[in-house]
């Protein structure tokens, strides 16, 4: 793993939103004695003492200031925000966050969206203003079939939860990947076939050059009319310009988006005012400092004792 751990090593912490202080505190709670500091405040001789970066959307160029860096730990399941840094030291391993808490939260978000769509929660809310319920058809969950694009930790977790809820699903991966007890297919031809028989599509793919823009007119055209799209991958998976036309044509009946090309979603974006689009601010699997710090502390210990951290990214594939 390159150079040895420096003496008196420092963990450089960065996050957006509330800033790094909550993360520093949570990490110290889990790993008493750790020297963890906000990444942007580290300077001078201390730069050489940083062996681990724990970050979410660290400004580009900051990683390159740490000559003895041993591990770049993402605060999140995705690592695209790290790979996009052109000055990133390419030899330093990157770890995604694999936290069972986040998988559960992600599954809850997706299950909620699927059930809201299937059981027409919005329609019934709308009837409240009329003080009257028209006759409505019964919900038949046997008609649901969920295509799960991406069968990593999150996709597998979702698949098992849907099975427990008696909702059929099939996972899809670009390259073959067997996951015990989970129905799955792989490759482009199998995707086309899967889409024709799926009325719900959930995107949990990593963002790579191969998956960017995968949710666009071509994919929508293969779905049965009135399908439901859930994007909880990355904003870059969706061709945003293609969504409203697909809704207007009836190809899609609704979409639930937790991620956007630009976050937070610009205030003049057309998604805000479209009733068919549920939008949430990247909260499907928010990281929980108290549970994530357990994972971070373990990875710091491993990297400092010559072990292998969990969640290491294959730098060749990019996820």
Residue 80 Cα to chain centre, angstroms: 10
* Residue from 64, 121, 183, 312 in contact with its own copies (CB under 8 A): 121
CB-nearer residue toward its own copies: 23 or 66: 23
**Could you write out the DSSP letters of every residue in 59-89?**
PTTSGGG-TT--EEEESSS--HHHHT-TTS-
CB-nearer residue toward its own copies: 125 or 192: 125
How many angstroms separate the CA atoms of 113 and 1, rounded? 42
Give the containing element (helix H, strand E) for 172.
strand 168-173
C-beta of residue 255 within 8 angstroms of C-beta of residue 228: yes
Is 91 noted as a catalytic residue in this protein? Answer: no
> Does the protein bind its own copies through residue 183 (CB under 8 A)?
no
> Does the protein bind its own copies through residue 179 (CB under 8 A)?
no
* Residue from 28, 37, 108, 276 in contact with its own copies (CB under 8 A): 108
How many angstroms separate the CA atoms of 102 and 74, rounded? 13
Beta bridge partners of 252: 227
> Does the protein bind its own copies through residue 17 (CB under 8 A)?
yes
What would the two tokens of residue 179 be? 């996951």
- Span from 37-45, 72-80, 161-169, 204-212 in contact with its own copies (CB under 8 A): 161-169
> Does the protein bind its own copies through residue 116 (CB under 8 A)?
yes
> Does the protein bind its own copies through residue 29 (CB under 8 A)?
no
User: Coil, helix or strand for 153?
Assistant: helix
CB-nearer residue toward its own copies: 153 or 211: 153
Cis peptide preceding 264, ω within 30 of 0? yes
* Residue from 107, 198, 211, 299 in contact with its own copies (CB under 8 A): 107
C-beta of residue 254 within 8 angstroms of C-beta of residue 199: no
> Does the protein bind its own copies through residue 45 (CB under 8 A)?
no
> Does the protein bind its own copies through residue 128 (CB under 8 A)?
yes
How many angstroms separate the CA atoms of 85 and 150, rounded? 24
Beta bridge partners of 153: none
> Does the protein bind its own copies through residue 276 (CB under 8 A)?
no
C-beta of residue 277 within 8 angstroms of C-beta of residue 254: yes
> Does the protein bind its own copies through residue 278 (CB under 8 A)?
yes
Is 81 noted as a catalytic residue in this protein? Answer: no
- Residues serving a catalytic function are 234, 282
Residues that bind its own copies (CB under 8 A): 17-18, 101, 104-105, 107-109, 111-112, 115-116, 118-119, 121, 124-125, 128, 131-133, 135-136, 138-142, 160-161, 164-166, 264-265, 267-268, 272-273, 278-281, 283, 286-288
């Amino acid at each position: 793993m390159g150079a040895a751990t420096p003496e008196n090593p420092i963990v450089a912490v960065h996050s957006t939103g509330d800033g790094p202080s909550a993360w520093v505190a949570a990490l110290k709670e889990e790993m008493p004695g750790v020297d963890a500091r906000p990444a942007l405040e580290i300077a001078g001789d201390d730069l050489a003492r940083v062996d681990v970066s724990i970050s979410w959307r660290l400004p580009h160029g900051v990683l390159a200031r740490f000559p003895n860096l041993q591990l770049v730990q993402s605060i999140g399941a995705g690592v695209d925000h790290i790979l996009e840094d052109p000055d990133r030291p390419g030899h330093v391993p990157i770890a995604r966050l694999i936290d069972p808490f986040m998988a559960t939260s992600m599954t809850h978000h997706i299950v909620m969206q699927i059930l809201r769509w299937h059981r027409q929660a919005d329609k019934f809310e709308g009837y409240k203003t009329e003080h009257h319920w028209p006759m409505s058809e019964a919900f038949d969950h046997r008609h649901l079939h969920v295509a799960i694009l991406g069968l990593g930790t999150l996709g597998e977790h979702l698949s098992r939860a849907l099975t427990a809820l008696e909702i059929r699903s099939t996972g899809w991966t670009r390259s073959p990947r067997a996951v015990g007890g989970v129905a799955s297919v792989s490759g482009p031809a199998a995707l086309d076939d899967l889409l024709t028989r799926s009325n719900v599509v959930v995107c949990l793919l990593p963002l790579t050059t191969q998956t960017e823009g995968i949710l666009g007119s071509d994919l929508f055209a293969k779905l049965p009319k009135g399908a439901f799209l859930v994007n909880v991958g990355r904003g870059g998976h969706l061709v945003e310009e293609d969504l409203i036309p697909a809704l207007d044509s009836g190809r899609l009946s609704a979409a639930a988006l937790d991620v956007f090309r630009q976050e937070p979603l610009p205030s003049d974006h057309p998604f805000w005012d479209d009733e068919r689009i549920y939008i949430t601010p990247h909260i499907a699997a928010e990281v929980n400092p108290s549970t994530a710090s357990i994972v971070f502390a373990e990875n710091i210990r491993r990297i400092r004792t010559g072990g292998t951290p969990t969640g290491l990214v294959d730098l060749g594939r990019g996820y």
